[in-house]
Amino acid sequence: MKLNGTHQLMVDADDVNILARSVCAVKKNTEAFLIGSKESGLEVNADKTKCTVMSRDQNPGRSHNIKIGNSSFKGVVEFRYLGTTLTNQNSLQEEIKSRLKSGNACCHSVHSLLSSSLLSKNIKIKIHRTLIFPVLLFGRRTWSLTLREERRIRVFENRVLSTIFGSKRDEVTREYRKLHNEELTDLYSSSNIIWMMKSRRMK
């Protein structure tokens, strides 16, 4: 849908999200949406409508209320969207922490399969992709990761791959050791989790 000549409206089921680069633009687009909704016989529930200004430069507890005509929309510092908690500082630290915790729990539940000598590496990788990936990456379409957050996710992935591919006997010491990250990447022979996320990110 176009508001003032540009696409700034996202609709998911019965949720409507109005996006803009300034509070002024949000007000203007929201007013246009309210008018259009009323003409169609629809009504926006102001009590269930929330707004937030997202910037990594602002104070974490700061929020902005928006008043348009007789309607007042409460400003919040965080909200849930597509399964992800979005904050007014556009920080994903807590969300990534929560997803990693869920991913670890999922990995633990299938650890016996991933470390089993009875299953092939291909089957283990399929388990990784079909069971662990969806849990870890739920809501990833709204993520905008920092390098630090990307590293945390890569560390998790390498830990899972290490369980799948096991250890290796050192040619010099003849002792078993964990595989290095580069070795895991070569054995996995697929795109790493960060590249996959970026290729599928919402545009």
DSSP state letters, 154-188? HHHHHHHHHHHH-EEE-TTT--EEEPPHHHHHHHH
Across 129-138, 168-177, 186-195, the highest mean pLDDT is recorded for 129-138
Give the pLDDT confidence score for residue 105 in this predicted structure.
96
Strand partners, 168: 177
Give the pLDDT confidence score for residue 8 in this predicted structure.
60
For the stretch 87-116, pLDDT in tens is 787 777 888 888 999 999 999 999 999 999
> 91 vs 167, which has greater pLDDT?
167
Distance CA 112, CA 110 (A): 5
Give the pLDDT confidence score for residue 93 in this predicted structure.
82
What angle separates helix 147-165 from helix 93-109, to the nearest 10 degrees?
A: 10
